[in-house]
Chain A
């Protein structure tokens, strides 16, 4: 399942990650497109759309403070006894 998060803090165009469809189907994947997406992540958890019972793969892009937001989110996941990891992607030029 792929969740895409982007905050209103950022107005610049964003590139969606190109991910393997089967891998996305088999895992809990969150593409964090911009900084400021952290509360959107918490909302998804509180709604039950994302669970801490399974690993959470955070996808970080190359711009818009995506990796920064991934680090804050992953830290929250670990503090709350979940687990996950950050994977970086770079779309083809």
Chain B
């Protein structure tokens, strides 16, 4: 049976992202393994730049080996006040290595990332819906697999202003937006077009505009599956039909 690590509990703001571990084990054949966040925060204060970010990556790799994990989700905001750096680089590198890795202890998003990788072979960009306008939406987050980008720069994490986060630019073209619900009963997948990148303050650092149709707009305005969604390259909506 595959094992996914939940390092720290889900972030407090994920109020609609609960999962029943037994349900996941029974229906997906995946065992969720709780790992205390102290296994990472015991690093203590690390270098505030890339060396510290890589130290967090090294610690996650140790945990993945120790617990024999196929993927992880990390309660990353707990690192800000303890380790004084972010998990952004660590999660980016893991996703590039084919190990699904999600932020904020978000378990449904981790399951979605794993599903995406298994169905398409691609790592995904875990992102927040950030703006919605007629026919388009902005999505943003502070980490993504660098293999998805055409160029990137390292900057600070949005909410904290510390550590190392990623501003990446993605190629324009076909993508699929995906999300599995925590109760495993709903699976949203929609083909979209990435039409532009931007970089504004007061948002997470990687920011992409997607062209969306009325169905997607209505979904987000009336019945979204929580916050985080996963963006993967190519049009794969048909592969996700339940």
Residues of A with Cβ closer than 8 Å to B? 7, 9-10, 12, 35-39, 41-42, 60, 62-65, 67-69, 71-76, 78-79, 85-88
A35 interface neighbour in B128, B132, B221, B222, Cβ under 8 Å? B128
Contact residues of B: prevailing secondary structure = loop
Select from chain B the residue with minimum beta-carbon distance to A40: B13
Select from chain A the residue with minimum beta-carbon distance to B181: A75
Task: Please determine whether B13 and A38 come into contact, CB atoms closer than 8 angstroms.
Answer: yes
13 sample A-B contacts, Cβ–Cβ < 8 Å, listed by A number: A12-B201, A35-B13, A37-B13, A39-B15, A62-B131, A64-B202, A65-B159, A67-B129, A71-B224, A71-B226, A76-B15, A86-B221, A88-B131
Task: Please determine whether B132 and A67 come into contact, CB atoms closer than 8 angstroms.
Answer: yes
CA distance in complex: A71, B223 (Å): 8
CA distance in complex: A42, B221 (Å): 20
Instruction: Kindly list the 5 A-B residue pairs having the minimum CB-CB distance in the complex, ordered from nearest.
Output: A75-B16, A68-B128, A63-B202, A76-B16, A38-B13
* Residue picked from B12, B133, B221, most chain A C-beta under 10 Å: B221
B128 interface neighbour in A9, A67, A78, A79, Cβ under 8 Å? A67
Q: Mark B180-218, 1 if CB is under 8 A from A, else 0.
A: 000000000000000000001111100000000000000
Task: Please indicate the chain A residues that have their CB under 8 angstroms from the CB of B31 in the complex.
Answer: none
A72 interface neighbour in B77, B131, B226, Cβ under 8 Å? B226
CA distance in complex: A59, B236 (Å): 32
Task: Please determine whether A86 and B220 come into contact, CB atoms closer than 8 angstroms.
Answer: yes
